[in-house]
Structure 1
Amino acid sequence: MRRIYLSLVLLNTLAVTFIWGINSLLLFEAGLSNTEALTANACFTLGYAAFEIPTGSIADTWGRRASYLLGGGTLTVTTLLYWLAWRLHAGVWAWAAVSVVLAVGFTFFSGATEAWLVDALHFLQYDGRLEQVFARAQIVTGIGTLAGSLGGAYVAQATNVGVPFLIRAALLLTLTVVAWRVMHDIGFSRRRSAGPLREVRRVVTESVRHGWGHPAVRWVMLGAVFAAGVSYYVAFTMKPYLLQLAHDPHAYGLLGIAAAANAAAQTVGGLLSMAVQRLFRRRVSVIITGVLLNGALLVGFGLARSVPVAIALLAGISMVSAAILPSRQAYLNSLLPSGKRATVLSFDSLISSSGGVVTQPGLGWVADQRGYPTSFVLGGVLQAFALPVLFLARRHEVAAATREEPAVVVPQRS
């Protein structure tokens, strides 16, 4: 099951990141300004938040596999719609509409893969720690990101920025077929749906009860609002900023190098994650330290005046994020019952992505008025707003917050 999980992570990452080096440039080539492009991207984030609840129930009723397959199919179609919008030089609202549908595809993935893995490992009596599996997933993600982003950037430089989107659609279709063949729900009992409206009401109720109603979970979720919103903005705008620093608007290969450096740093972060956890007694302390470091690195990125320094700081942000993510994943999963795991993890994505709805267009407006450097420095300062709620999470003395407790809990049947 671990090999299947890591294989799916690798193929998924390769497909998703094939356009990471040039995705924002597609919108700018279509004639959108910073504010317009980030408004369209904020609509993606809004769609992510709006559909997390409805799609989150699918993994707990139809099954984790069904949710994953729906995600793969939806992303294949919407990737092609992105390419079509670029070809037609569509306006901002057309991009916004496609972005919302694209977000729906990602919400089918959200929570389902992790819930599928944790249920299966418990059913097979896995006695290891979840952090080890999630750390390997970070390493695999780094390798996939390295190959995907570097390959996509150089394909764009050799052809145009639209071709990587066609290749991505083909990779996503392959991922869907592979998942259909190898991914099966193990250790999970499907629950009959009570109808769409009742199901949404149930998901909201259970999300509030098992997620928002649990103080240790609630504060960690809220802590991601500022960090996630800023990270969405940085991932979208660092490409035109690097081209600006390089004084070459068509140096797509440089963007591939930057993405490859981030991927390599992510791999290193995954390798270091277990060592980092041994430095702290509480998982929340790992998260707090990561937020502090990333805020400082982002301020430095905004002040950088050379491409090598900027890329190095970006790589530092990726390494820190990868090093702390396994702690956050294990922390949340250890607190959630099996039958509600995918639901609450989707709710976590809803909460964290909601910050990007306001942050992205807001920082985009700052970039239009004062330039990219000012917007990045402001983004680094905004990340500090996550610290008070994370300290509140740390105050709650729960077993899952300590490194010594087992990471897998006995799942409850629905």
Structure 2
Amino acid sequence: MSGATTPETTPTSTPGRVQAVYFTLLVGNTLAASFIWGINTLFLLDAGLTNLEAFAANAFFSIGMVVFEVPTGVIADTLGRRVSYLLGTVTLATTTALYYLLWVWHSPFWAWALVSVLLGLGFTFFSGAVEAWLVDALTATGYRGSLEQVFGRGVSIAGIAMLLGSTLGGVVAQATDLGVPFLMRAGVLVLMFVLAALLMRDLGFTPAGRTNPIAATRQVLVASVKYGLGRPGVRYMMLSAMFTTGVGFYVFYALQPYLLELWGDDGAYSVAGLAAGIVAGSQIIGGLVAPWLRRRFRKRTTSIILSISVSAGILVVLGVNRSFWVALALLVLWALIDAAAGPVRQAYLNDMIPSSQRATVLSFDSLVGSSGAAVIQPVLGRSADVWGYPFSLALGGLVQALAVPFLWLSRRSGEAADVATTADSAPEPPA
């Protein structure tokens, strides 16, 4: 293809090298993000926000992702996925520094809402683009293994980075203050900008080039509808994310104050960091289990439906539990199931999407999930204010269960990807 990067001139000329670069970017992103995962809710509450305002701030982050998914999708499809990634690191480093300043100044809620929207902008540069870059580059370099294996390894490697980052973030916060992990995050993102500039090249994909922004946005929307909402298997899988994404975000961050409440010491920030670390450890195991899980069932949707159903039940049990150690055990199981099923879902979606629309549709999938998160998180946060964290977790489990009918409809669509195992590009869907 004219303008395409050839394998001989890139650091990603083999499937192994492609995966090495992907894992490097994944480790850096996860490490940077996880510094604050164990203490984010405590950070917001320490800044003077209520539970409702703290989770509303998270909801504005989701709103930012909804608003900017299409524009950043245009950037990924017209200027390249490498450019999109680089812009994401710069945006996230800047907005993370702003978050720190809002905490220092004890700023009003409207300021948190604004910066949270901009944080969402930063993450939209990553969503879709990096995963699409990986799958296209693997296909271009002749990879013929299962996508579950690559995504599963990615989950495990990210889990190791999360274990280190979240635990370190909690320990550093307790030794210094809640703001230092945010400064650490900004610093690592700057480093990732440099590494991506040196290592990442668009391979197996030729950027469309500069074009009229309005026309490009319209093309992205048309492609999203045609290859996303227009294809039953993809449509119902994306719609299920409206219920699972928001609940997942809420549970992860609500577990911080919930576990501290069970522990009996509101200042034990290392406990909150340890909780995030336990999730990370479960991800390490879950990512390795993903290929095994895929082989246990003929259809990918079987394992996805089972995982969503069981994890929803775990949340209900967490809602009635009053033991710290039982909560940790349930948290491990919840994270393990989620980590094992995640790569299966990624592989299923990618096998249904043509290469030229991959970043667009994956971004649209993220947009749908963020739309649900923008509503679900503040609702569950408000329920925590009124009835407590246990009730909000049980309610979250019931909300997540609403995803199961949509997953069943995706299964009923009879997509070939439900039983596919290779990284071959998906064929054009029938008109």
Please, which of 158, 173, 184 is the counterpart of residue 156 of structure 1? 173
Counterpart of 1:77 in structure 2 is 94
Measured in 2, the distance between the counterparts of 1:192 and 1:80 equals 32
Counterpart of 1:196 in structure 2 is 213
| Residue 8, structure 1, aligned to residue 18, structure 2 | no
Give 1:353's aligned amino acid: S
Per-residue deviation, residues 249-295 of structure 1 (Å, max 9, x unmatched): 11011112111111111111011111111111111111101101110
Deviation at 1:411, TM superposition (A): 8.3
Measured in 2, the distance between the counterparts of 1:50 and 1:245 equals 37
Measured in 1, the distance between the counterparts of 2:348 and 2:426 equals 15
Q: 5+ unaligned residues in a row in structure 2: which ranges?
A: 1-17
Shift >4 Å, 4+ stretches:
none
Helix, strand or coil for the counterpart of 1:278? Answer: helix
Give 1:13's aligned amino acid: T
| Residue 240, structure 1, aligned to residue 257, structure 2 | yes
Counterpart of 2:232 in structure 1 is 215
Give 2:399's aligned amino acid: L
TM-score relative to the length of structure 2:
0.93
Helix, strand or coil for the counterpart of 2:125? Answer: helix
Measured in 1, the distance between the counterparts of 2:42 and 2:217 equals 37
Which residues in structure 2 correspond to 1:274-353 (within 5 Å)? 274-353=291-370
Counterpart of 1:137 in structure 2 is 154
CA contact (8 A) 1:153 1:253 kept: yes
CA contact (8 A) 1:119 1:411 kept: no
| Residue 39, structure 1, aligned to residue 56, structure 2 | yes
CA contact (8 A) 1:55 1:107 kept: yes
Measured in 1, the distance between the counterparts of 2:55 and 2:28 equals 28
Per-residue deviation, residues 177-208 of structure 1 (Å, max 9, x unmatched): 11111111111111134312221111111100
CA contact (8 A) 1:61 1:192 kept: yes
| Residue 362, structure 1, aligned to residue 379, structure 2 | yes
Helix, strand or coil for the counterpart of 2:359? Answer: helix
CA contact (8 A) 1:59 1:342 kept: yes
| Residue 258, structure 1, aligned to residue 272, structure 2 | no
| Residue 68, structure 1, aligned to residue 85, structure 2 | yes
Measured in 2, the distance between the counterparts of 1:30 and 1:130 equals 42
Per-residue deviation, residues 329-356 of structure 1 (Å, max 9, x unmatched): 1111111111110011000000011111
Please, which of 406, 409, 414 is the counterpart of residue 425 of structure 2? 409
Measured in 1, the distance between the counterparts of 2:360 and 2:100 equals 32
Counterpart of 1:177 in structure 2 is 194
CA contact (8 A) 1:333 1:408 kept: no
Per-residue deviation, residues 346-403 of structure 1 (Å, max 9, x unmatched): 0000001111111111111111111111111111111111111111111111211114
Helix, strand or coil for the counterpart of 1:334? Answer: helix
Which piece of structure 1 moves more, 297-306 or 337-346?
297-306
CA contact (8 A) 2:308 2:404 kept: yes
Per-residue deviation, residues 304-343 of structure 1 (Å, max 9, x unmatched): 2121111221121111111001111111111111111001
CA contact (8 A) 1:400 1:407 kept: no
Counterpart of 1:91 in structure 2 is 108
Deviation at 1:242, TM superposition (A): 1.1
CA contact (8 A) 1:122 1:410 kept: no
Measured in 2, the distance between the counterparts of 1:124 and 1:96 equals 43
Measured in 2, the distance between the counterparts of 1:235 and 1:402 equals 31
Give 1:401's aligned amino acid: D
Measured in 1, the distance between the counterparts of 2:180 and 2:30 equals 18
Give 2:326's aligned amino acid: V
Measured in 1, the distance between the counterparts of 2:95 and 2:297 equals 42
Measured in 1, the distance between the counterparts of 2:181 and 2:150 equals 30
CA contact (8 A) 2:23 2:157 kept: yes
Deviation at 1:5, TM superposition (A): 0.7
Counterpart of 2:4 in structure 1 is none
TM-score relative to the length of structure 1:
0.97
CA RMSD of aligned residues (A): 1.2
CA contact (8 A) 2:128 2:362 kept: yes
Which piece of structure 1 moves more, 334-343 or 213-222?
334-343
Measured in 1, the distance between the counterparts of 2:43 and 2:96 equals 12
Counterpart of 1:374 in structure 2 is 391
CA contact (8 A) 2:143 2:423 kept: no
Deviation at 1:410, TM superposition (A): 6.3
Q: 5+ unaligned residues in a row in structure 1: which ranges?
A: none
Which piece of structure 1 moves more, 197-206 or 94-103?
197-206
Measured in 2, the distance between the counterparts of 1:146 and 1:40 equals 25
CA contact (8 A) 1:40 1:99 kept: yes
Deviation at 1:70, TM superposition (A): 0.5
Counterpart of 1:400 in structure 2 is 417
| Residue 125, structure 1, aligned to residue 142, structure 2 | yes
Per-residue deviation, residues 66-119 of structure 1 (Å, max 9, x unmatched): 000000110000000000000000111110000000000000000111111111
Measured in 2, the distance between the counterparts of 1:362 and 1:165 equals 26
Measured in 2, the distance between the counterparts of 1:410 and 1:257 equals 41
Per-residue deviation, residues 202-235 of structure 1 (Å, max 9, x unmatched): 1111100011100000000011111111111112
Deviation at 1:408, TM superposition (A): 2.0
